[in-house]
Chains A and B, each alone.
Chain A
Amino acid sequence: MEAINVTRLGDIYVRREADIVKVRDRVRRLAREMGFDQTTQIKITTAVSELTRNIYEYAKSGAITLSVAQLGAAAGLHITARDEGPGIEPATLDAIMSGGYRSAHGLGIGLAGTRRLVDDFQIESTEGEGTRVTVVKWLPPARAGELRGRVEEVRERFAELDEGSAVEELAQQNRDLLAVLSELEEKREELEQLNRKLADSNRELGEANAKLREVAELKEEFLAVTTHDLRSPLAVISGVISFFSSGRLGELTPEQQNMVSMMERNTQNLIELVNDLLDSAKIESGTLQLELAPTELPALVGDICEAMGTVAGDKGVKVDCHFPDDLPKVAADRAKLRRAIVNLVSNAVKFTPKGGSVDIHGERQDGLVRVSVTDTGVGVKAEDLPHLFDKYEQGSSRAPRREKGTGLGLYITRQLVELHGGEISAESEVGKGSTFSFTVPIAEDDA
């Protein structure tokens, strides 16, 4: 077939089973267009159907190339079927072509039958590389001349057919898209449902939250009322005790004195606790108001040092103050600031064993005054540091049981410092001691 002049019309790809029907349809129309009679059209279509089916069954994909063949005065349809399938081994190929082969799928007559249906037949197959079958069906000489004169027209007509198939392909893609769309729609509905569920549980959470807030408010109110009611009787008890200890009710025996001082100490603890609770309730309800005034720290801290020094001295802990005289005045509520410093110092004394020392230090820093309280006490574990200023929090290893307080001290201190516009922080090393320090803004007229 070397001398055959081939004018290619187009390819049809074979990838799906449905392509077999498509190829049949295109080839039948092309054969009619080229001027083959009806019987020959059917023969050609059947032959191509066999070739296409072989491609689909053995190689899964391939292509059919359709061309106009011209040889001398003759003209016809030239068809190439190629695939990159497993190929056919020579012995099997011989068997197929002699009609002795029976395949598992067809009747084993595909290729041999095809050869009988066409005029020229050529097969090349390489194992592992694929198969290429080329067939030609020639037109009767009377029709050949006509075809030779209108190869271009045939090519155009075939392209139109292919456009039709492009439209068909588009339609298929459209259907696929619609399917995907409806799937998406389903997904969207699922999502919407999920969303609704989420919204529901969100609302429930919101309701639960509101309830919690209500409970929290009730708790604060309860605290405020009860602590207030606790404070009055405590004041009376404290007053009565002071009558005893002052000796105005007659001299006490040493044993009685011991008992009275025990009562005094415990009453004092109770009063402190109630004050702490009251303060934290006030802070939380936002009713704690600061009366800011320029305050001289050295004087304030001097008082504290003196007062705490006495208590600490009894315990065998030394308290030192280092406040430079040129320290600027700070903008503070004197009583509240005092409270904050006293809390830190009494904490430090509480957690420092006999023979240790507590150092109160003041310095100017970045337009603020920093007050630090350093002790040589038991220290705080690193993992406890971040929670130290939380409500009711106490370092797990900080104090012996009898030293435990309410856990409100540092919480209140932080609140007071923050109300002043300062910051509080703590550094510590277990067994070596801790440093608690906070900042206070400098009074405006002293900045």
Chain B
Amino acid sequence: MSGAQRIPILKVGRVLVVPIQTDMDDQTVVHLQERILSELERTRARGVLIDISLLEMVDSFIGRMLSDIASMARIMDARTVVVGIQPAVAITLVELGLELSGVSTVLNVDEGIKLLRDEFDIEEREDDELFWGELNLLGEHGHRA
């Protein structure tokens, strides 16, 4: 209610992984956008991967925020991928007439990481700060949908 819910932002290699696990109020969405941008600056990440596989609804406001995050990240030299859109959400988005302009969408986190890696030739480096535990957790979510 008061105060934005905390949505984690994880750095995996040179990618920021943002798992959205619950319906968000507008404040949280706006706050998330700011945090992603400041993390991009701080970590010099090249990609943003937003996992919305648990999000059961994307309305015009959330859709616009996703597009905005992508545009802003692009200006900061980072690519944005949205993964795990539920089929029903996809249908709704289309009927609503909402295009997630500037946002690439893929089916799951693995695909998303692969896409970002290919895009930027980011080398897989074991000594990168990899949070494998969290990544695995995300992977499960990613495959769930």
Interface residues of A (CB under 8 A from B): 17-18, 20-21, 24-25, 28, 38-39, 41-43, 45-46, 49-50, 53, 99, 106-107, 109-110, 112-114, 116-117, 172, 175
Contacts and interface: CB of A to CB of B under 8 A. Distances in A.
B96 A42 contact: no
Given A107-B98, A117-B96, A46 B64 contact: no
B25 A49 contact: no
Given A113-B96, A113-B97, A113-B98, A42 B60 contact: no
Contact of B57 (A42, A53, A106, A109): A42
Contacts of B64: 106-107
A172 B1 CA distance: 8
Contacts of A50: 59-60, 96
A45 B1 CA distance: 19
Nearest to A19: B25
A107 B95 contact: no
Nearest to B99: A107
Nearest to B62: A49
B23 A18 contact: no
B2 A175 contact: yes
Given A17-B27, A18-B25, A28 B57 contact: yes
Interface stretch (B33-41, B43-51, B84-92): B84-92
B26 A17 contact: yes
A109 B60 CA distance: 7
Point out which of A99, A110, A172 has the most chain B C-beta atoms below 10 A from its C-beta: A110
A28 B61 contact: no
Given A46-B57, A46-B96, 7 more contacts: A28-B57, A39-B88, A42-B56, A42-B86, A50-B59, A107-B60, A112-B97
Contact of A18 (B1, B56, B58, B92): B1
B27 to A, nearest CB: 6
A43 B87 CA distance: 11
Q: Which of A38, A41, A49 has the most CB of B within 10 A?
A: A49
B63 interface: yes
A416 B42 CA distance: 92
A116 B57 CA distance: 16
Contacts of B24: 21
A18 B28 CA distance: 10
B130 to A, nearest CB: 34
A45 B26 contact: no
26 contacts: A17-B26, A18-B1, A21-B24, A21-B25, A24-B23, A24-B57, A38-B88, A41-B88, A42-B57, A42-B92, A45-B56, A46-B57, A46-B58, A49-B59, A49-B61, A99-B97, A106-B60, A107-B60, A107-B98, A109-B60, A109-B96, A112-B97, A113-B60, A114-B96, A117-B92, A117-B96
B76 to A, nearest CB: 23
A42 B88 contact: yes
A183 to B, nearest CB: 15
A117 B59 CA distance: 11
